[in-house]
Structure 1
Amino acid sequence: MDSARKTQVSLQPTAFKGRGSASYVPGRYAVTTAHGEDDGWGSVYVDDGTSARPETQVTEETARSIISRNDSPDIAFGQSINPYRGCEHGCVYCFARPSHAYLELSPGLDFETRLFAKVNAAERLQNELARPGYRCAPIALGINTDSYQPIERRFRITRGVMEVLDACSHPFSLITKNASIVRDVELLASMAKRGLVSVYFSVTTLDNQLSAKMEPRASAPHSRLKAMRTLAEAGVPVGVMVAPTIPMINDGELEHILAAAHEAGARAAGYVVLRLPHELKQVWREWLQLHYPDRAAHVMSLIQQMSGGKDYDSRFGQRMRGEGPFAQLIAQRFQKAWRRHGFGRLPALDTSRFVAPRKPTPQLELF
């Protein structure tokens, strides 16, 4: 780690304004880690609001490939695109945080401050779709990152990717916490008329104060609902994901979120319980102790009850829904509210319209 990073390592986790994580939790592949040692003069950090706040750094990178594929039996999509690595939204519960460990960076503060923009994403996508062996299947846009996180306003990588998909009539879905998606409402509406797109909004809470602590740079809950309504009125199929559902933190809002989302135009709904893979366990525990020390032990006890006595159960199927009485109660409450509001499924995306783009060649580019 460089010296600037070392000066930001706290003796105790510290809540930074606008950040979800409280420290540079070491990644599991880190070669070296830094630990602050106070020399008696308070030189490691000052807990008076004047301590340095980690700034967002964005590195432009050239991706060698852009479509990721998976065969997990409990995931509904087979291929996805992530225009960025890391996510400035800073959601403390994000299951993708541990992916930053592959970069020898912290799944804690680095995940939300050390970002990477795949500036050639649209070009790579066009090349990959033009391959003779490519078979069209819906693409999920933004899974390990939010495609509409704040830096999208500057880089417009998501917009470029969608324009490629639009040009060749390739279907895709996306999920976001950012109301800035309304920037592209006309493009989304045009593709929706051809059955090429569906959008899910992740709404974790309707409480602005909780949202500011838990997902500090995501759009406020009411802004997401407003964006949901805008897209629905434009003819874009929209759904809502109450994800993650966390015992004693936001699970009490489950029915209220579903009601608000349905009123805003959502016609499909789902939920996922909190997942704590790898380093996320420490990130989450630090956050709990900082913001809810009075109930931290109870929250973790319920999480472990849903995870076979562990912080996290990675088994397919179990990892999304949990097990035990509390998990069953959440499932029953969700199903009851789902039926009461008349939620269903969003229309299937149409793969029959796909026309492979022309692969650029030096000779053809002369004309």
Structure 2
Amino acid sequence: MQEKNRRPGPLRGRGASHNPPNRYHTVHREPVCGEPEEDDHPKSSPETRLAPDASRSVLSSNDSPDVGPGLSVNPYRGCEHGCVYCFARPTHAYLDLSPGIDFETRIFYKEHSPELLQKELSRPSYRCQPLALGINTDAYQPAEGSLGLTRKILEVLEAMRHPVTLITKSSLVERDIDILRALARQNLVHVFLSITTLDAELARRLEPRAATPQRRLRTIEALSQADIPTGVMVAPVIPVLTEPETEQILSEARTAGARTAGYVLLRLPLELADLFERWLEEHVPEKKRAILAAIREFHGGKLYDSRFGARMRGTGVRADLLEQRFGLQVRRLAFPGLPPLRTDLFVPPFPTKPAKKSAPLFPGFA
């Protein structure tokens, strides 16, 4: 018999099991001793709800020294993949929602994103640079299967001969091999598959609605066989939990055809720390203390260090060792690298304005 004050367990098919309070709300509800937390902990997995997003622009600029300056476009807000560690979860607070279950069940789609992108890239002042597609939330999450916004965006970029990079955890990217191959022939695309673990059971709990690790490896193989420049991102590296798999992930990805590799350390900004600690309690309680201690070792005693240069790699001896291990395996496996993306082929369809009719020098004479 479940005790009244016992927290409900994980939800089937969801990464989060509750909705932590929105940091912008001035009033938070806290249960009293012995009161169940039903408001924030649904008894069963809620259905996914899609809603249109009325954004008037789709291009986002980035000046982070961690990833370099550039532009990105995200056709979706929220992500049904449900990765419990997703650094984008706190952005759902901007929508007056929770970064927990809301993030993976309340999905907003920018239905006019292809048209808006074409308009923004057609401005005479625009200067071509590689565009990151789906860098915040996955552009190939389940909703893409029916909405097709990412494919339409790729069609716009192909018509304009615009360079693009994309990263995904979904095998749905194979649907667009025809467009990606056409872009690749002109050195206009790089595709990355993100792999966190090779353990299918662990992946099912960490990232419940993403493709299985083995399926992602087959996607790397399919893209590579189509001559599409493909890499692997070991992301995120979770100390103690997935960190020991780093070398094996690189090896499997290289065998599948990956030409380059990168990694990102687990990030726990804002509400994400609470979500991840709760996940540890529910799924790997025997490892929770060791994992949190290791995370703090990477971040100078804190669960998260937001400083540029530290947030994605960590600092200290343990961070240095991870970087050395990663670099050694990349060299051992002889990743050849990706060809540089071209920007000189860009052909924007600048809007044409009708020529003004000249006024006659002398009225009455045409």
TM-score, normalised via structure 1 length:
0.91
CA distance in 1, matches of 2:52, 2:269: 28
Aligned to 2:76: 84
CA distance in 1, matches of 2:266, 2:37: 36
CA distance in 1, matches of 2:192, 2:6: 40
The question of 1:26 aligning with 2:21 is answered: yes
1:361 deviates by: 8.1
SS of 2:190's equivalent in the other structure is: strand
Aligned to 1:62: 54
1:66 and 1:81 in contact (8 A); partners too: yes
Aligned to 1:353: 345
1:351 deviates by: 0.3
Unaligned stretches of 5+ in structure 2? Answer: 356-366
2:71 and 2:132 in contact (8 A); partners too: yes
Give the total of aligned pairs. Answer: 350
**Within 5 Å, which residues of 2 pair with 1:1-367?**
12-35=7-30, 44=38, 51-359=43-351
1:323-354 CA distances to partner (integer Å, 9 max, x unpaired)? 12221221111111110000243111100000
1:362 deviates by: 11
Structure of higher CA gyration radius = 2
2:11 and 2:44 in contact (8 A); partners too: no
1:126-184 CA distances to partner (integer Å, 9 max, x unpaired)? 11011111010000000110000011001111011111001110000000000111000
CA distance in 2, matches of 1:12, 1:362: 67
RMSD in angstroms over aligned alpha carbons? 2.1
CA distance in 1, matches of 2:353, 2:149: 23
1:270-310 CA distances to partner (integer Å, 9 max, x unpaired)? 11111111111101110011111111011101101111111
1:200-235 CA distances to partner (integer Å, 9 max, x unpaired)? 000111110000000000000111111111110101
1:34 deviates by: 3.9
SS of 1:270's equivalent in the other structure is: strand
1:60 deviates by: 1.0
CA distance in 2, matches of 1:272, 1:266: 17
1:85 and 1:145 in contact (8 A); partners too: yes
CA distance in 2, matches of 1:244, 1:53: 25
CA distance in 1, matches of 2:167, 2:333: 21
Range with greater deviation from structure 2 (50-59 or 18-27)? 50-59
2:74 and 2:139 in contact (8 A); partners too: yes
CA distance in 2, matches of 1:38, 1:11: 10
1:357 deviates by: 2.0
Consecutive aligned runs of 4 or more in structure 1 exceeding 3 Å deviation: 31-40, 42-45, 358-363
AA aligned opposite 2:137: T
2:229 and 2:259 in contact (8 A); partners too: yes
2:246 and 2:326 in contact (8 A); partners too: yes
1:107-141 CA distances to partner (integer Å, 9 max, x unpaired)? 11111011100000001001101111101000000
Describe the shift of the 1:168–1:64 C-alpha distance in structure 2 as closer, same or farther (beyond 3 A).
Answer: same
AA aligned opposite 1:156: G
SS of 2:219's equivalent in the other structure is: helix
1:139 and 1:171 in contact (8 A); partners too: yes
SS of 1:318's equivalent in the other structure is: coil
Quote the sequence identity (%): 49
1:30 and 1:105 in contact (8 A); partners too: no
CA distance in 1, matches of 2:331, 2:63: 30
CA distance in 1, matches of 2:114, 2:209: 26
CA distance in 2, matches of 1:38, 1:327: 41
AA aligned opposite 2:82: G
Describe the shift of the 1:362–1:250 C-alpha distance in structure 2 as closer, same or farther (beyond 3 A).
Answer: farther
CA distance in 2, matches of 1:233, 1:212: 27
1:83 and 1:142 in contact (8 A); partners too: yes
